[in-house]
Structure 1
Amino acid sequence: MVPIVGLSVATIACALERSWFWYQLLSQEDRIVHDVLDAARYDLNEAGAIAEKAQTLPIGRFLLAPLRLRNPSPETFRLAMEATGDKEFVQMRKGDKLLETVVAVAPLLGLLGTVTGLIGTFNNLNIGGGGTTQQATAAAAGIGEALITTAAGMVVAILALAVFRVMVSLQARQMDYFSEVGNELELIYRQVWYEPAIADENYVPAAAMSGRPIADGN
């Protein structure tokens, strides 16, 4: 029971830590994304400043990565988001290995405790001796006590599995959300900032194309 209790404490601690993490992220990310995308349509520096204030959260660091670059190409812009997104997804998976281990190990520990308890119970039986009823009662109590570890191990494993499945669902949702937000930010950058700048650089007056001198305005 001692290792099972330890695994239950680790599971509860992981669940509380991850719950706080996801609460902070989910309660603030929509506002941060809205503010950054709105500012990006008019001023990239302001959008970067908003994202920098929110860089304690994954979504803030994700949006800040491309906005801190100086005149990047769309490919570099996207690459910065993808690289940062990969790092953030690794952090979001924190605790998964612990929960997977608990799900696998807790029932086995419970079963091991039951088996060793049964072995001790049967070793104490005196088959063929006196007091058969009393021995049967003691054996039943020993078997019932031995089964407690199996039940405890299964309860802990079920709790860990439930927490793990919730976390996996949140991680999948967050990956889709990051992809959607990243695509929208990249589209804004391309349409509002990058393509107009390229068009201005490639602009050639019609008079120059026809070979006629360009008027100096006098």
Structure 2
Amino acid sequence: MNLPELITKGGPAMWPLIFLSILALSTIIERIWFWTQTLLNEGKILTQILETASRNWEIAAKVARDYREHPIAKFLYAPLKLNNPEPEVFHFALESAADDALSAMRRGDKILEAVIALSPLLGLLGTVLGLIRSLANIQISDLGTSSTTGVTLGISESLISTATGLIVAIVSLAFYRLFQALWFNQVRIFRKAGGELEVIYRQKWMDLDDSRYALRSNRDPLEQREL
């Protein structure tokens, strides 16, 4: 049985199932490409930004800006580009950037969720319609005769849509769970990277406070003598 025959025998529910399968397939391919590009250089970019931030804060902002097309670099660049913010402002910028980046990583999830929910229902609908069509022509007097052969064949063919819907839903669910696992791993990485960058900045902020205090302490006696 080739694809056109399968679609014809599966009934009218096969057409929306084909549409959902194409939609799910395109989403899966796009997400595989996204996660491959994201995970490929993430460790290298993250290490480079954090090591540079510990040595030279200004250069770290430039490094993050160069890689800002990558989610982790875009996340870290949001607070790095600020000009000596308060630690609370720095923390808020980290949280806001993390929310934006992680939300963007979940693009396509709603499509897969819809396909997972609708595909089995459409398959079941196709089966019910096929059973109605097959049983509508059977009569009590035909039971046990050769007249019921076509009805039996129609019932078996009506199950094609259910099998198709289940296949589409199972494949979509498998990739959906995979992408969810990758996303949860990114949440962990973002929290760890954000925490390390915030620690570096707070140390820098404390050094700046010590420098300002020392500068005021050295300047006050001079101002008093002038008075």
What is the TM-score with the length of structure 2 in the denominator? 0.86
User: Match for residue 155 of structure 2?
Assistant: 143
| Deviation, structure 1 residue 124 | 2.2
Match of 1:33 among 35, 46, 54: 46
| CA distance in 1 between partners of 2:98 and 2:67 (Å) | 15
* Equivalent in the alignment of 1:6: 19
Q: Is the deviation greater in 30-39 or in 71-80?
A: 71-80
Q: 1:155 aligned to 2:167? A: yes
Q: Relative to structure 1, is the Cα distance of residues 186 and 131 closer, same or farther in structure 2, using a 3 angstrom cutoff?
A: closer
Q: Which residue of 1 aligns with 2:30?
A: 17
Alignment of 1:167 with 2:176, yes or no, is no
C-alpha displacement at 1:96, in angstroms?
A: 1.1
In structure 2, what is the equivalent of residue 58 of structure 1? Answer: 71
CA shift digits 1:63-93 (9 cap, x unpaired): 1001100011211111111101101111111
Instruction: Give the alignment of 1:1-218 within 5 angstroms.
Output: 1-129=14-142, 132-133=145-146, 135-191=147-203, 193-203=204-214
Note the C-alpha offset of 1:131. Answer: 9.1
Indicate how the Cα distance of structure 1 residues 183 and 207 shifts in structure 2: closer, same or farther if over 3 A, else same: closer
Q: 1:88 to 1:116 in 2, by over 3 A?
A: same
Q: CA deviation at 1:162?
A: 0.9
TM-score by length of 1: 0.90
Percent identity over paired residues: 40
In structure 2, stretches of 5+ residues that fail to align are 1-13, 223-227
Q: Give the drift of 1:130.
A: 9.7
RMSD of equivalent CA atoms: 2.2
Aligned-residue offset at 1:206: 8.7
Q: Secondary structure at the match of 1:128?
A: helix
Please list every run of 5 or more consecutive structure 1 residues that lacks an aligned counterpart in the other structure: 214-218
Match of 2:4 in 1: none
Alpha carbons of structure 1 residues 57 and 141: separation in structure 2 relative to 1, 3 Å: same
Aligned length: 210
Tell me which amino acid in the other structure corresponds to 2:187: M
State the partner residue of 2:11. none
> Stretches of 4+ moved more than 6 A in 1?
204-209
